[in-house]
Chains A and B, each alone.
Chain A
Amino acid sequence: MSQKAKAKPNWVQHAWRERPGFQLQRQAVALAALGVFVAILMGALYLAQSSSVSTLGRQIEELIIQRNQLEQQNEQFRAEIAELRSVPRLLARAQELGFRSAAENEIEYLYVQGYIPSVDPSVVLAAPAAEALIPAAPTYDESFVGWLQQQWDQLSSQFDSFARGG
């Protein structure tokens, strides 16, 4: 039975286990397996790094959007503050609180020793070329008549080009 159980090896078993130099091939396979393992390890590291970068990128994008929104909100708040601090509103509020404009005889002027306002006395002589440094600004001509004229001109030019093409 034991001899029967020992079946004749097929060609694969024969090639892998029983042909000469098997030990040498086993080392090569081991090296190849090690190479594959290292490649898998590197791949795994690369994937981990990539996913980390990807996550970070998304987070940065979200932060940029959040920052832009906050900047817009800040600008909006500044505009609202400026509106709330407009002179007519401040005057009305001051009057509500019982304040009034000071009369001339109610003001006392004091001399403050050593106080010199920051006045820059230097004067520059006008240069005729200085004007040229400032670019000419566009003129606003978006009146209804101007718009109508523009539309008419466009229509005319289209008609002309059509007529020439025909």
Chain B
Amino acid sequence: MQASGVQQRDEMFNQRLPFVLVGMVIISGLLILKLLSFQQLAPEVVNELRPDYNREISLATARGIIYDHTGQRLAVNTIEYRIGISPNLVSEKQRVAAQLSTILGLDELATYQSLNSDQPWVQLAVGVNAAVGQELERLKQDGLIALTIEKTPRRNYPQGTLAAQILGFVAGNLRGYYGVEGKFQDQLAARPRTEVISDIPFELPPEQEADQGADIYLTIDRDIQFMVESQLVEAINSTGAKSGTIIVMNPRSGDLLAMASYPSYDPNAFREVQNPEDLKNSAISGIYEPGSVMKVVTVAAALEAGDITSQWTYNDQGRLDMAGIPVFNWDRQAHGVVDVTGVLVQSLNVGAANIALAMGPSDFYKGMSKFGFGRLTGVNLQGEEGGIMHVPGDSEWSESNLLTNSYGQGISVTPLQMITAVSAIANDGLMMQPNIVQRIIRDGQESVSKPIALGRAVSADVANLVRDMMVQVVQNGLDDQASLPGYTVAGKTGTAEIPIPTGYRSDAFIMSFIGFLPADDPQVIVLIKLDAPTSGRWASQVAAPVFRRLAERLVLLMEIPPDAVRQALAAQGGTITEIQR
């Protein structure tokens, strides 16, 4: 019985086996066909699937860093965070609200209400700093997936208001405006880059190296800049001036060591600036009539052209009527026979006008042009103005311009143009182009800026002659207001009237001083300009003392020894060049 049962089962197995085998073969065949069909997808299906596998990401780009010439960071990049949350993905709302409010410094109840919102996404905070942002990132990694953390790059100026008008600022569109940020936008900004990465795990991610903008080292010295800005604010407060500018430059190279204007602003908060004019750097864009400082240029140009000699004299009667206008001296007094040095020391308008008459318009404006008036200096900052100088042939020029231009009225310049012109006297007649960039580094390649000569304004002999006259101005013409014990200073004041549509203001003046030291080997030249100060009537009373206070600190910061020490050191075997900073 048992054997026949086994036999029956075997027979049944043998009968069914072919069907099972055929069935398996058919199913396997269908599976293989289906697998093969996946290898030949329709193009539209492939196109639809592709975006799911590949995604384009924009790589974070780093704007170049701006340094001062000692390597101190003036402009850097930071990250800010924008924090949001999807309430419907939060299960323990009370606990999460407590956590987030503690980290973000928010009100716990308000946060809890945000988490109970019907909205799919709620913004919790913007402008969150990096430390908090990174803490939240850790929280998200620990399981709070409802949190969204969006990073936004931000330009940061760690020195605050320092050198604001030199640096400019970067707006929300990551473009630089004004100053170095504006002028070197293309170099500082990194090239935006996107890369396609695959979500397919078998494909290795490509190298995601973000582009880096060029780093820029300025010629500015942070310590000198700070001191200059402090002195400017102090001068504004003590003189009652409405605004002002100070520029410190190396006359040998044209390198700008400091440049400050008041009022200024904080580039970290440029949106809060009420008056857009404050964003501009008035040292390079604010034009003014310079006044008697221009007499230095007039005398130098006349000596260079050979229209006068150092022995030239004239009889000063206190007034000159010519070209339909009367020219007066500042004191409305006659000074008798005066030589060229006397014209500068006593700052006589009549003397300057006489020199201009001796030159004639052709020589005069040719000389002015050599000193760069009426055109841009070419400084590497955004927003430079070229000033206004009418020349014979212009519809607005008249013969009276020749007279007034000789003592700095009727001609408009920028503070930078003025200091550049006088720096030619300090640099043996060679006028250097003002420069703010020391070197640019991109991808490890360093390009160092070279001093650029704009041209020879006057010969070395004439420059030295005028320089000696400027020394006389400081020693004999300013009651020691600009003198610095131990140092020979060359300088010239300017008290200029302020033009208005109907003529000139009678109640306010622009007072300026340009000086350089040591006079025999100038290492630094300084321009002080104060607009409408109320503490005095003349630049010798207002601007010259500011120069002295500034120069006292400047020689220490720049390690410029007093003349006696310098000569003693030179006697030990060092040359002036060897002991200069």
Contacts and interface: CB of A to CB of B under 8 A. Distances in A.
Contact of B581 (A1, A117, A138): A117
B579 A104 contact: no
A109 B579 contact: yes
A72 B130 contact: yes
B565 A87 contact: no
B534 interface: no
A134 B380 contact: yes
A11 to B, nearest CB: 8
Contacts of B432: 123
Interface string A132-145: 00110111101100
Given A109-B561, A140-B177, A69 B134 contact: yes
Given A124-B453, A134-B183, A79 B3 contact: no
A140 B134 CA distance: 33
A75 B78 contact: yes
A99 interface: no
B450 A4 contact: no
Interface residues of A, number: 60
A53 interface: yes
A143 B182 CA distance: 17
A123 B279 CA distance: 33
Interface stretch (B95-103, B152-160, B352-360): B152-160
Given A7-B10, A102-B556, A131-B378, A126 B433 contact: yes
A111 B177 contact: no
Interface of B is mostly: mixed
Nearest to A49: B202
A87 B201 contact: no
A59 to B, nearest CB: 10
Contacts of A161: none
B51 interface: no
Interface stretch (B105-113, B336-344, B458-466, B568-576): B568-576
B202 A54 contact: yes
14 contacts: A1-B3, A7-B7, A11-B18, A12-B14, A57-B204, A79-B156, A86-B162, A115-B578, A120-B451, A125-B452, A125-B455, A135-B185, A140-B177, A142-B171
B577 A119 contact: yes
Contact of A135 (B186, B430, B451, B569): B186
A76 interface: yes
Interface stretch (A17-25, A29-37, A60-68): A60-68
Contacts of B451: 120, 122-124
B60 interface: yes
B146 interface: no
Contacts of B130: 72-73, 76
Contacts of A109: 559, 561, 565-566, 569, 579
A86 B160 contact: yes
A5 interface: yes
B485 to A, nearest CB: 8
Interface in B130-178: 130-131, 134, 137, 156, 158-160, 162, 171, 175-178
B226 A87 contact: yes
A87 to B, nearest CB: 4
Given A7-B10, A12-B18, A111 B569 contact: yes
Contacts of A1: 3
A83 B182 contact: no
Nearest to A91: B226
A78 interface: yes
Contacts of A122: 450-451
Contacts of B23: none
A58 interface: yes
Nearest to A128: B378
A65 to B, nearest CB: 10
A50 B204 CA distance: 11
A82 B73 contact: yes
A27 interface: no
A87 B222 contact: yes
Interface residue tally on B, bucketed by range: 35 or more
Contact of B78 (A64, A76, A135): A76
Contacts of A4: 3, 7
A79 B158 contact: yes
Contacts of B10: 7
A137 B222 contact: no
Given A69-B134, A126-B378, A134-B183, A111 B573 contact: yes
A56 interface: yes
Interface string B414-455: 000000000000000010110000000000000010111111
B176 A137 contact: yes
A92 B574 CA distance: 37
A53 B433 CA distance: 59
A93 B11 CA distance: 103
A8 to B, nearest CB: 9
B105 to A, nearest CB: 19
Given A75-B76, A75-B77, A111-B573, A64 B205 contact: yes
Contact of B223 (A75, A87, A135): A87
Nearest to B198: A57
Contacts of A76: 78-79, 130-131
B60 A68 contact: yes
A120 B250 CA distance: 14
Given A57-B204, A82-B158, A138-B182, A7 B11 contact: yes
B276 interface: yes
A107 interface: yes
Nearest to A58: B201
Contact of B276 (A53, A79, A83, A143): A143
Contacts of A135: 185-186
Given A57-B201, A79-B156, A137 B382 contact: yes
B183 A137 contact: yes
Contacts of A87: 159, 162, 222-223, 226
Contacts of A26: none
B123 interface: no
Given A104-B552, A104-B556, A126-B433, A85 B205 contact: no
B208 interface: yes
